[in-house]
Amino acid sequence: MQMLYQYQVGVDDISAQSDLYLITSRSEKQTQGMAKDLAIGAWGYCKQSDALIKLHSLNWEVDRITMVDHAIMRLAIYEINCLDTPNVVAVDEAIELAKRFSTHESAKFINGVLGAYIKALDPDHV
C-alpha cells in the first residue's frame, strides 16, 4: 500500500522507486519481492480499479478520496480480481490498513465501497 501511495504522488520509474523503498524495509527479502510484485501489479491495474471505485463510491467524488484510501482500495480490488485472495480477506486487510494508515472513518468508507463491489460481483453470496 505504501508503494502504491508513492506511485500516486508521481514516480517515473515504478520498479526503481520500489527498489528504493524496499532498501529501508526491515522485512525479509522474500516478503519484499512479493510486496513489490503486488504493488506493481496493482499499479498496472489502476484504470480498472479506479472505474470500480468510482462506480461503487456512491455520492462521493473519486477525486475527494484521500490518496492513502485510494491506494488501499486499489490494492484490495487488484487482489480480488487478479489474485487468489478471498474477497473477505482482501476487505479485512484493507480495513486494517485504513485503521493503521488512515482514519477510523476511512475504514468504514473503504468497507462500504469494497462491500458494494463484492455484492455486485455475486449478490447471492455476500
Residue 2 in grid coordinates: 505504501
Residue 1 in grid coordinates: 500500500
pTM for the model stands at: 0.82
- 53-98 pLDDT tens trace: 999 998 788 888 999 999 999 999 999 999 989 999 999 999 999 9
- Computed over every residue of the chain, the mean pLDDT equals 83
65: left (phi over 0), alpha (psi -120 to 50) or beta: beta
Least confident residue range of 29-38, 65-74, 100-109: 29-38
Over range 14-43, report the average pLDDT. 70
- Rounded to a whole number, what is the distance in angstroms from the first to the last CA of the chain? 25
